[in-house]
Amino acid sequence: MGQISEFVIDLLGNASILVGLMALIGLVLQKSPWDEALTSTIKTIVGFLIFDVGAGAAGAALGSFQELFSEGFGLDGVLPLAEAVTAIAQEQFGSTVAIVMLLGFIFNLFFARITPFKYVFLTGQHNLYFAALITIMFKALGVGNAMTMIFGGIILGFFAVIFPAIGQPVMRKITGSDDVAIGHYSTVGYAIAGWIGSKVGKPEDSTENLNLPSWLNIFKDYVVGVGVTMIIFFYIAALAAGKEFTTQISGGMHWLVFPLIQGLVFAAALYVIITGIRMLLGEIVSAFSGISEKLIPDAKPALDCPVVFPYAPTATVIGFLSAYAGGLLMMFVYGAIGTAVIIPVAVPYFFIGATAGVFGNATGGWKGAIVGSFVVGILISVGPAVVYPIMADIGLTGSAFPETDFSIVGLLIYYIGNFFKSIF
């Protein structure tokens, strides 16, 4: 059973392979020549691997920032990071998590076929995280493995079509088409950012059309904007942490050079991410028409959140900064009221905040990007704070899931489950 779970996790938990397989199926159904099918499949996988390389580099840079920030400001608390929680959950419930993920993908295809929600969720690692969250909630209720696998798979497959549908109205505004959907389980937050944007601003006041002062024009280039912003953040964190600690984590690099290099590495990583996504989109949309025509009429791929970054690069920077400000605000609120302190981890705050910024910008311009992502920054702090006590009760401590959709589904499972337990 251990080898089976490892195989399932490695196969379906690898987003590049999953997307590549879906592209290949689509091309085969279209009866494309074998050489064209092979070329497109490889380019699809490579596009995702380029994204993975960029995401890994960005994650490493932000991890260094998190260490500096925590040391410099003396923070101790819960670090909301889906990868960390999933790793802990797999140690206790590995086989169950794997089967929930596998059944979830099968039920995703089933629900996409029989319902009006024609979305196939292709962000494999997020399905893995979701399977872990669902398993944790069922285990907190004392549910056995078989029931957890069956009902967990149904729940995962159902929400894999529902959440992309929630985000699609704003996705159409962002992309200008109905070809792709958002496949990232913070969709409720993104939809809220889009709704807030429509209330506070106008889409024509886009972040990409800002009339910046001449000395700020450099920020219109997202590589420069991200680079300068992250360099400033790194220096603040490094100066707070001090020379000795910064030198310790820098690998021998001078402690005042390390923040500069890390900020620029992050900017380079973002450029790599966007390059990979552009290559992926160039292949997956046309290949996916095979699935749409043959298996699931009008099917749409739901892809990871960086798919929206090229449409409003400036909004990604604004979204990250604004969301992080919301997370910092809540961190001090928790400290004041004496509850577990949810520390805003830079990695999820960048990806979730940046995406929220793009959604807010699509409906409300720069005002929507700022306000929408700020609210999302608060939401992805409050969600973990509410769910964390449930996880702690079964021994999963120190981390939590920041994604809005995970918090919503997790609480629904737990409290509905408790309601039925009280009846029966």
Alpha carbon distance, N-terminus to C-terminus of the chain: 32
Cα torsion through 222, 223, 226, 227, rounded to 10? -150
Query: Pairing between strand 181-182 and 79-80?
Result: unpaired
SS3 76: coil
Q: 396 lies in which domain range? A: 2-423
Q: Are 376 and 190 in contact (CB under 8 A)?
A: yes
Look up residue 316 and give its DSSP letter.
H
- What is the amino acid identity at position 233? F
Q: Are 281 and 242 in contact (CB under 8 A)?
A: no
Count how many domains the chain has. Answer: 1
pTM of this prediction? 0.80
- Selection from 329, 316, 91 nearest residue 223 by Cα: 316
Q: Are 380 and 323 in contact (CB under 8 A)?
A: yes
Going residue by residue through the chain, which has 424 residues, state the pLDDT in tens, using 9 for 90 and above. 567 667 766 766 666 777 788 788 878 888 888 888 899 889 888 887 887 788 778 878 878 887 888 888 776 568 888 887 887 787 788 778 888 887 898 899 899 999 999 999 988 778 889 999 999 999 999 999 999 999 999 999 999 999 999 999 999 999 999 989 999 999 999 999 999 999 999 999 999 887 766 666 666 676 787 788 789 888 998 999 999 999 999 988 999 999 999 999 988 887 887 788 778 777 776 776 667 667 888 889 999 998 999 899 889 989 998 999 999 999 989 988 878 789 888 888 989 999 999 999 999 999 999 999 999 999 999 999 999 999 988 888 888 899 999 999 999 999 999 998 888 7
